[in-house]
Amino acid sequence: FTIHTQTVSESCPSNIALIKYWGKYADQIPANPSISYTLNHCKTNTSMEFTANEPFSVQTFLAGNEEVKFAEKIEKYFRNIEQYLPWILKGKYIIRTENTFPHSSGIASSASGFGAIAKCLMALDALFTGKTSEEESLRKASFLARLGSGSACRSLYNGLVVWGETDEVEGSSDLFGVQYPDAEIHEVFKNFNDWVLLIHEGQKSVSSTVGHGLMKTNPYAERRFQEARENFIPMKDILKKGDMESFIKLVEHEALTLHAMMMMSDPAFILMKTGTLEVINKIWDFRRETGLPLFFTLDAGANVHLLFPNNGTEEQIKAFIEAELLQHTQKNGVVKDVMKF
């Protein structure tokens, strides 16, 4: 190394899956393909200070506070990816990271977090080994992010992103995310709102690592993996045609199936809260009464992602959310994002 200390800074957004990834094989290979929207405004900003020729160590700060547990996780992750970045263990790191969305809001901070770290590593790699193309570098960042947190590999690209091999999407891979072809997406899906109602802020009772693991013994797992694969066929058609009604049905089904899998695990667990169910029922009542395209998806947690297009109906939908749904949130309220691409 000719350069002693280098600092790089990168930013990466979170994402929300529409067809869910739940269940994996060794080396972070997903049991089925998934597709997500990248959230434009929920981001992690990370700076990485690397000092070469020092014993390997990692120190991490989250919003200015030292996080020892997180540092241990990153240390383990770096050891795990040494085969792909041979210089990675040859120095010490100080990593400073902050999220633009509330901490522990249940918005996937592991996706944006590992995405940002992988981008920092590729920025350092470019300094040490010479630049590769932007495209190559992003792909490798996605590959590395996947090894930190599976869903993180989808955060490296904007818009709709697919991870997991499927005949329905050219170039798709189990190893990294790929952008869904722009020409195959109807305009109505290119400008969407995702408002996250923060129903429950506390620590999740079951981590997603444990949740994925429980799919190994879930008697419905194979059928579920098959269903997710099959869901890419209608999804392709829906995205092309702008078929909002079928989109809503498919996306809500995926969310409920994810949580149904949790209930059918052994041991069973439930991450939804009373507020989650109340909000879902209110959304369904609203849709029945008005026919307006407000719908939901869920991550592995209690919070509800409210999805609705910007197609002229959004003001009426926003008014309903403000009047009827905000009462179910805890003090943090709602995180508003517009997904545009």
Give yes or no for residue 39 binding ligand PMV (CB under 6 A): no
Which residue type is seen at 280? I
Q: Is 271 in the site for ligand PMV (CB under 6 A)?
A: no
Please state the closest distance from residue 300 (CB atom) to ligand PMV, in A.
Answer: 4
Residue 247 in contact with residue 189, Cβ under 8 Å? Answer: yes
C-alpha–C-alpha distance, residues 50 and 88, integer Å: 10
Bridge partners (DSSP) listed for residue 65 = 62
Question: Does the footprint of ligand PMV cover residue 300 (CB under 6 A)?
Answer: yes
Instruction: Show the binding pattern over residues 237-266: x = contacts ligand PMV (CB under 6 A), - = does not.
Output: ---------------------x--------
CA–CA separation, 322 and 329 (whole Å): 11
Contact between 38 and ligand PMV by CB under 6 A: the answer reads: no
Q: Give min distance, CB of 153 to ligand PMV, in A.
A: 9
Radius of gyration for the alpha carbons in the chain, expressed in angstroms and rounded: 20
E-strand ranges in the chain read 5-19, 24-25, 29-30, 34-52, 57-62, 65-66, 91-99, 160-163, 177-179, 191-197, 295-298, 304-309, 334-340
Query: Is residue 124 within 8 Å of 8, Cβ to Cβ?
Result: yes
| Binding flag, residue 44, ligand PMV (CB under 6 A) | no
In the window 75-114, what residues touch ligand PMV (CB under 6 A)? Answer: 108, 110
- Find the binder of ligand PMV among 31, 32, 33, 34 (CB under 6 A): 34
By the 8 A CB rule, do 317 and 294 touch? yes
Of the two residues 37 and 195, which places its CB atom closer to ligand PMV in the complex? 37
Name which of 239 and 300 has its Cβ closer to ligand PMV: 300
Cα 175 to Cα 137, 145, 162, 179, 333, distances in angstroms? 14, 10, 11, 14, 36
Q: Per CB under 6 A, which of residues 148..187 are in contact with ligand PMV? A: 149-151
Shortest distance, position 35 Cβ to ligand PMV, whole Å: 9
Among 8, 13, 14, 22, binds ligand PMV (CB under 6 A): 22
- Residues found near ligand PMV in the complex (CB under 6 A): 17, 20-22, 34, 108, 110, 149-151, 208, 212, 258, 299-300
